[in-house]
Structure 1
């Protein structure tokens, strides 16, 4: 599955995987992550294949929220991702 690096970092932060998110953001991986091709590197960041598949599925919208509250939280998440990513970039630069 292919996902944008910045989107994957943001989703990892949202699901509580701060360490993996920071390691991914600082990594030399390209802007587009292929979860199959880059699996070994992503596992080094502490992500197991099942967890990675679920988080990547959330990023690309392949996993749909089941209830209204979850959809609302997902919409809220979409609004905050770019702001949180910008804050992280400011901290790292």
Structure 2
């Protein structure tokens, strides 16, 4: 086993990482091939600013991810994806 690499094991929990609308994103190239270099990542969008609405209960955690067309008060959001983790499930559903 290489240092820092865990043996194959079932997932423990989902992690949702989002951007901040109040901060400018760095150039997308800074992140490289995020999904190619990290096979555990199920969704990545490094080119748009946006926000995430979370619906969390004992049965599920659902992340509704949106992007905005511009960084202004009257920005129009559009849906990027929805990520669902059902309680006890080993995999996330991305649609």
TM-score range, shorter chain: under 0.3
| TM-score (norm: length of structure 2) | 0.23
The structure whose residues are more often strand, as a share, is 2
| TM-score (norm: length of structure 1) | 0.23
The structure whose residues are more often helix, as a share, is 1
